[in-house]
Amino acid sequence: MPLTDVTIRNAKPGEKTVKLFDERGLYLEISPTGGKWWRFKYRFDGKEKRLSLGVYPDVTLKDARDRRDAARKLLAEGIDPSENRKAQKSARADRAANSFEVVAREWFAKYSATWAANHGDRIIRRFERDIFPWIGGRPIAEITAPELLTAIRRIESRGALETAHRALGNCGQVFRYAVATGRAERDPSGDLRGALLPVRGEHFAATTEPKRVAAILRAMDGYHGTLTVRCALRLAPLVFVRPGELRKAEWADIDLDAAEWRYTVTKTNTPHIVPLSKQAVAILRELQPLTGRGCFVFPGARSSGRPMSDNAILAALRRMGIDKEEMSGHGFRAVARTILAEVLGVRPDYIEHQLAHAVRDPNGRAYNRTAHLPERRKMMQQWADYLDKLKVGAEVIPLPQHA
Instruction: Tell me: do 181 and 221 sit in the same domain.
Output: no
**DSSP three-state, residue 380:** helix
Cis peptide, bond prior to residue 362, ω within 30 of zero = no
Structural domain includes residue 202: no
Rounded Cα distance between 375 and 379, Å, is 6
Average pLDDT, the chain: 84
Marked catalytic residue, from 242, 262, 372, 377 = 242
pLDDT digits (tens, 9 = 90+) for 192-246: 988 888 765 444 444 557 777 888 888 888 888 889 999 998 999 999 898 889 9
Which of 49, 154, 176, 267 is catalytic? The answer is 267
CATH number, position 316: 1.10.443.10
First to last CA, the chain: 98
Closest CA to 81 of 122, 47, 55: 47
User: Model confidence at 364, in pLDDT bands (50, 70, 90)?
Assistant: very low
Residue type at position 231: C
Q: Within a domain: residue 10?
A: yes
Residue 118 vs residue 19, higher pLDDT: 19
Which conformational region is residue 182 in: left (phi greater than 0), alpha (psi within -120 to 50 degrees), or beta?
left
240 located within any domain:
yes
- Give residue-wise pLDDT tens across range 293-315: 999 999 988 888 889 987 787 78
Identify whether residues 71 and 178 lie together within a single domain: no
Q: Which residue of the set 183, 330, 337, 353 is catalytic?
A: 330
Q: Is 330 a catalytic residue?
A: yes
Instruction: Specify the DSSP element, H or E, that contains 372.
Output: none
Annotated catalytic residue within 105, 126, 183, 333: 333
Q: Of 61, 96, 131, which closes a domain?
A: 96
Residues in CB range of 338: below 8 A, 6 or more apart: 208, 399
Residues 376 and 274 in one domain: yes
Question: Which whole number is the average pLDDT over 107-120?
Answer: 83
**How far is Cα 168 from Cα 291, in angstroms, rounded to an integer?**
44
Confidence band, pLDDT 50/70/90 cuts, at residue 152: very high
> Phi and psi for 394 in degrees, rounded to 5?
-90, -15
Which of 50, 42, 43, 63 lies closest to 17, judged by CA? 50
b/e sequence 5-29, b meaning 16+ C-beta within 10 Å: eeebeebeeeeeeeeeebeebbbbb
Give the pLDDT confidence score for residue 228 in this predicted structure: 92
Out of 119, 165, 212, 367, pick the active-site residue.
367
What is residue 402's DSSP assignment? P
Angle at 23 between CA 21 and CA 28, to 5 degrees: 30
For 127, which DSSP code?
Answer: I
Tell me, yes or no, whether 265 and 364 share the same domain: yes
Q: Which of 16-25, 158-167, 283-292, 322-331 has the lowest mean pLDDT?
A: 322-331
**Catalytic: which of 85, 166, 357, 391?**
357
Quote the number of domains for the chain. 3
Q: Are 260 and 275 in contact (CB under 8 A)?
A: yes
Are residues 234 and 157 part of one domain? no
Q: Does 379 fall in a domain?
A: yes
Same domain, 143 and 232: no
CATH number of residue 140's parent domain: 1.10.150.130
**What is the per-residue pLDDT for 132?**
92
E runs forming strands in 189-235: none
pLDDT digits (tens, 9 = 90+) for 242-284: 888 998 999 999 999 999 999 988 777 788 999 999 999 999 9
| Burial grade of 393 (CB within 10 A; 0-12, 13-18, 19 or more) | exposed
Question: Do 44 and 74 share a domain, yes or no?
Answer: yes
Give yes or no: 367 in active site. yes
pLDDT of residue 121: 87
Instruction: Give yes or no: residues 178 and 60 share one domain.
Output: no
CATH of the domain at 85: 3.30.160.390
Report the pLDDT value the prediction gives residue 205, as an integer from 0 to 100: 42
Strands (E), 175-256: 254-255
| Residue 17 included in any domain | yes
Whether 402 maps to a domain, the answer reads: no
Query: Taking residues 147-160, what's their average pLDDT?
Result: 88
Active site residue 92: no
Contact criterion met (CB below 8 Å) for 181 and 138: no
| DSSP of 49-117 | EEEEEEETTTS-HHHHHHHHHHHHHHHHTT--HHHHHHHHHHHHHHHHHTBHHHHHHHHHHHHGGGS-H
**Alpha carbons 50 and 106: distance in angstroms, whole number:** 40
Give the predicted TM-score (pTM) of the model. 0.49
Query: How far is residue 378 CA from its own chain's centroid?
Result: 37
Same domain, 120 and 237: no
Write down which residue in 96, 112, 137 finishes a domain.
96
Q: Last residue of some domain: 70, 96, 122?
A: 96
Reply yes or no on whether the pLDDT at 398 is more than 60: no
262 is catalytic: no
Instruction: Summarize pLDDT for 25-76 with one digit per residue, the tens.
Output: 999 999 998 899 999 999 998 899 999 999 999 999 999 999 999 999 998 8
Does residue 199 lie within any of the structural domains?
no
337 versus 66: the higher-pLDDT residue is 66
Query: Residues near 40 by Cβ (< 8 Å), separated by ≥ 6?
Result: 25, 26, 50, 51, 53, 67, 68, 71, 81
pLDDT confidence tier of residue 324, bands split at 50, 70 and 90:
low
Residue 197 lies in a domain: no
Domain that holds residue 158: 100-192
